[in-house]
Structure 1
Amino acid sequence: MAESDLISKVRGSKWSLKGMTALVTGGTRGIGHAVVEDLAGFGASVYTCSRNEAELNKCLKEWEGKGFVVSGSVCDASSRDQREKLIQEVASFFNGKLNILINNVGTNIRKPTNEYTTEEFLTLMSTNFESVYHLCQLAHPLLKASGMGSIVFISSVAGVVHIGSGSIYAASKAAINQLTKNLSCEWAKDNIRTNCVAPWYTKTSLVENMK
């Protein structure tokens, strides 16, 4: 069975996300783009963001043509002010409730440990870890209000074992792995599930740019 046929069969099953709301950060490329399409394909109403306005508008138009319910706005997830604005927009769009938060945004600068500058360290940690930590804090009231919240972090195998992707990138992903464990226990009482996906190398623009 072809992959497209399998996806269509699964989406046509009784399992559905109709009525559910989701925020996917960095949803215009790579893994984030695929996640948006899957969630929308299963019937969820999806909100996403990107730093690139032209790219975002292009994707929104394509999704509309596919019959997907997807909206979005421009946001640099590494900016605290823009993260706060994003969650305000999501709260308004979904009437104060959010079922699913997919923390997908991430970047990398791959080089030997001794060659990293302070600025590069801060860029990697703020984009990969600080942003998702803060977004969880901001989204917590919305997830709790939904009565059935779910957080999914997109981590990496690099956060578990050494794969040559750079020590700072690996450290940021390892921090995400531990944050997942903590929140899964701490926020269970609020009916918020917390999980983490740790992919191997995936053919996305991030990987292509590291070659």
Structure 2
Amino acid sequence: MPHELQGIDSLAGKVVIVTGGARGLGRSISDGFAMAGAHVVLAGRNRATLDDAAAQIAAAGGSVLSFQADVSSEDSVEALCAAVVEAHGRIDVLVNNAGINPWYKAAEDTSLEEWRQIIDTNLTGVFLACKHAGRVMIAAGEGAIVNISSVAGRVGLAKTTAYCAAKGGVELLTRQLALDWARKGVRVNAIAPGYVQTDLTEGLLAHPVLGKRIVERAPMGRFAQPSELVGACLFLASSAASYVTGQSLAVDGGWTAA
């Protein structure tokens, strides 16, 4: 008998952790899962931001919990996963969205401290969340992980050495974990966005030189809206992608097509 075709509606009732899920792109992803009927767990460092996002999702009828966590700390990530299992009994989906890119510097001007801060959050944080949520999924025999990568993991971007290195690591980590866990019921995929218009990129977009340069370089001539990434994330997390693992889906307006 052919495999039953299912789609986004298969996410109803699933327990979904979204790191960095209370603001920017993560917030749009959290809203998308909540609208699909999932039990959304917001994870982030700022308690006030988490509380505000959780209140708004709940007011819109979503099922939501929030936990303060720092993905660069293994103790914090382990505690997060344990708290989610205690609250919901399982972890069905992990979206590794938490990330930072606070510096625009040439490699020769980047300090070791700045390098480590970006690597610790953007790469080590993804590994730690995959490790601890993955253990829960492996024990259950099923689960889906979606890592938010970047075009910076596929092509070089000027003066973002540590960020490009971290996202390149996320791309290959995604493939490697997919191989390890394919027969354990856990799918691991990634989304590689281009530039997305959020509060974190407002200054870049408004910059008279850099913002104009990026818009002119983008084939679609603009930054993405956060909502334009949600469909790809929901697809990869759902049973519609049941035979998809180890893949990175570019949602970049054509940036890497050139």
1:41 to 35, 39, 45: 35
Contact 1:104 1:154 (C-alpha < 8 Å) held by counterparts: yes
Per the TM alignment, residue 209 of structure 1 is displaced from its structure 2 partner at its CA by: 5.3
Could you say which residue in structure 2 is the equivalent of 1:52?
A: 46
1:1-211 alignment to 2 at 5 Å? 15-95=9-89, 97-108=90-101, 109-164=103-158, 166-208=160-202
Structure 2 residue runs without a partner (length 5+): 1-6, 208-258
TM-score when scaled to structure 1?
A: 0.88
Structure 1 residue runs without a partner (length 5+): 1-12
Per the TM alignment, residue 180 of structure 1 is displaced from its structure 2 partner at its CA by: 0.6
Per the TM alignment, residue 53 of structure 1 is displaced from its structure 2 partner at its CA by: 0.8
Contact 1:98 1:145 (C-alpha < 8 Å) held by counterparts: no
Contact 1:158 1:165 (C-alpha < 8 Å) held by counterparts: no
CA distance in 2, matches of 1:80, 1:185: 23
With 67-76 and 162-171 compared, the bigger mean Cα shift is at 162-171
The Cα offsets for residues 165-207 of structure 1, whole Å up to 9 and x where unpaired, read as 5011000000000001111111001110110100000012332
Matched position secondary structure for 1:19: coil
Contact 1:22 1:101 (C-alpha < 8 Å) held by counterparts: yes
CA distance in 2, matches of 1:157, 1:14: 25
Contact 2:42 2:54 (C-alpha < 8 Å) held by counterparts: no
CA distance in 2, matches of 1:124, 1:163: 15
Q: State the identity %.
A: 34
The count of corresponding residues between Structure 1 and Structure 2 is 198
Matched position secondary structure for 1:198: strand
CA distance in 2, matches of 1:36, 1:73: 14
CA distance in 1, matches of 2:169, 2:134: 19
Contact 2:42 2:67 (C-alpha < 8 Å) held by counterparts: yes
Could you say which residue in structure 2 is the equivalent of 1:5?
A: none
The Cα offsets for residues 85-138 of structure 1, whole Å up to 9 and x where unpaired, read as 11111121121x211000000001221110111110110100000011011111
Per the TM alignment, residue 28 of structure 1 is displaced from its structure 2 partner at its CA by: 0.8
CA distance in 2, matches of 1:30, 1:100: 19
- How has the CA–CA distance of structure 1 residues 14 and 44 changed in structure 2, closer, same or farther, with 3 Å as cutoff? closer
CA distance in 2, matches of 1:106, 1:50: 10
CA distance in 2, matches of 1:140, 1:15: 23
What RMSD over aligned residues (CA atoms) do the two structures have, in Å? Answer: 1.6
Matched position secondary structure for 1:163: coil
